[in-house]
C-alpha cells in the first residue's frame, strides 16, 4: 500500500509537469530560454532552502549538486527543443526517459532489468513512436533531454538514499541554478523577464520545480529507478491532454492508440507483483 501511495504521489507531480509544457513554451518565447530557467530555478531554490537548512550536510549537497548538473543539461535540451516543436511532441519525446533508465543502469552499474520490464519498455516505446509526428530540430534536442532525464533518474536512485531529502533536493536545484545563471550571463543581451512571463515563472518554479523535485527525491529514496521511470512514462499523456485542451494540439487515431499502449505499459509494471519484486530484489536502488 505504501508503494501505491508513493506512486500516486509521484504521478501527481508528473501531471503537473505534463501541464507545464504549454506554459513553458509560451514563457520561453517571451523572455528567452536562459533567463526563464535562471529566474525559475532561483525562486525554486529559495523556496526549498528553509526545509533543508537545519539538516545541512556538505556531503549531501555535493551529491545533490552532481546529480543537479545532469538535471540542468536535461532542462536546457528540453526548453530549447520546446521552442521548435509542439508541447505535445515535447512531452511525448520526453517520455523516452523510460527507455534510457534501464540502458543507463546497465551501462553504468551493470544492473540487469527483468524481461517483463523490458517488454513493458518496448511496448511503451512503440506507443511513443505512434504518438510522434515529423521530426524537427526541437524533437532531436528533446531526445537529448530524455537521455539526461533518464540518467538523472538512475543517479538519484543510486546515490539518493542515506541523505536528507530536502538537502539532496536543494543541492540539485542549486547546481542547476548556477548553470542557468551562467547561461544567462553569457547570452547577450541580458533581458529581465517581462511582466507577462511572471505567472508562468511562478507556476513552474514552485509547484513544478521546488515541490516536484522534493517529491521526486523523496519517492526515489524509496522506489527502484525503473519503477519511477514507468511512472514518468505517464508524462507524455498529460502533456498530450493539456496540449489538446490549452494549445489546440490534436491526436490522430494512431496517436491515440500509442497513448493506450503507453498506459498499458505503465500499469503492467506497476500492478504486476512478481515483476516489481524481482526488480526490487535485483536493483541496488
- pLDDT digit string, tens, across residues 222-239: 998 878 888 887 887 888
Q: What is the mean pLDDT of the chain?
A: 86
**Percentage above 70 pLDDT, the chain:** 89
Cα(45)–Cα(42) distance, rounded to whole angstroms? Answer: 5
pLDDT-derived band of residue 168, with 50, 70 and 90 as boundaries? Answer: very high
Lowest average pLDDT, out of 14-23, 74-83, 251-260, goes to 251-260
Q: What is the mean pLDDT of residues 105-123?
A: 83
Name the more confident of 166 and 237. 166
pLDDT of residue 246 exceeding 80, the answer is no
pLDDT of residue 221 exceeding 50, the answer is yes
- For 128-166, letters b (16+ CB in 10 Å) and e give bebbbeeeeebbebbbbbbbbbbbbbbbbbbbbeebbbb
pLDDT of residue 159 exceeding 70, the answer is yes
pLDDT of residue 135 exceeding 90, the answer is no
pLDDT at 38: 96
Give the number of C-alpha atoms closer than 13 A to the C-alpha of residue 31, restricted to the C-beta side. 23
Q: Which residues contact 204 (CB under 8 A, 6 or more apart)?
A: 20, 23, 24, 27, 40
pLDDT-derived band of residue 106, with 50, 70 and 90 as boundaries? Answer: confident
pTM, full prediction: 0.85
pLDDT of residue 281 exceeding 60, the answer is no
Amino acid at each position: 500500500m505504501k508503494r501505491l501511495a508513493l506512486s500516486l504521489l509521484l504521478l501527481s507531480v508528473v501531471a503537473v509537469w505534463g501541464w507545464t509544457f504549454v506554459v513553458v513554451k509560451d514563457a520561453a518565447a517571451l523572455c528567452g530560454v536562459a533567463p526563464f530557467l535562471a529566474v525559475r530555478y532561483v525562486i525554486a531554490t529559495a523556496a526549498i532552502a528553509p526545509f533543508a537548512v537545519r539538516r545541512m550536510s556538505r556531503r549531501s549537497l555535493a551529491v545533490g549538486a552532481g546529480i543537479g548538473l545532469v538535471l540542468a543539461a536535461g532542462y536546457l535540451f528540453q526548453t530549447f527543443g520546446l521552442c521548435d516543436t509542439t508541447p505535445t511532441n515535447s512531452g511525448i519525446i520526453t517520455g523516452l526517459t523510460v527507455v534510457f533508465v534501464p540502458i543507463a543502469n546497465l551501462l553504468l552499474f551493470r544492473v540487469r532489468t527483468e524481461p517483463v520490464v523490458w517488454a513493458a519498455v518496448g511496448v511503451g516505446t512503440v506507443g511513443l513512436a505512434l504518438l510522434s509526428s515529423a521530426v524537427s530540430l526541437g524533437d532531436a534536442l528533446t531526445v537529448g533531454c530524455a537521455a539526461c532525464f533518464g540518467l538523472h533518474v538512475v543517479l538519484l536512485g543510486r546515490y539518493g538514499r542515506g541523505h536528507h531529502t530536502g538537502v539532496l533536493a536543494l543541492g540539485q536545484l542549486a547546481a542547476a541554478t548556477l548553470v542557468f545563471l551562467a547561461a544567462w550571463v553569457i547570452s547577450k543581451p541580458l533581458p529581465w523577464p517581462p511582466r507577462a512571463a511572471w505567472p508562468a515563472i511562478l507556476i513552474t518554479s514552485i509547484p513544478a520545480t521546488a515541490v516536484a523535485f522534493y517529491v521526486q527525491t523523496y519517492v526515489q529514496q524509496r522506489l527502484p529507478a525503473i519503477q519511477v521511470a514507468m511512472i514518468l512514462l505517464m508524462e507524455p499523456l498529460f502533456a498530450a491532454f493539456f496540449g489538446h485542451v490549452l494549445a489546440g494540439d490534436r491526436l490522430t487515431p494512431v496517436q491515440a492508440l500509442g497513448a493506450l499502449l503507453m498506459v498499458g505499459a505503465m500499469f503492467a509494471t506497476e500492478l504486476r507483483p512478481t515483476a516489481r519484486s524481482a526488480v526490487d530484489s535485483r536493483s541496488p536502488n
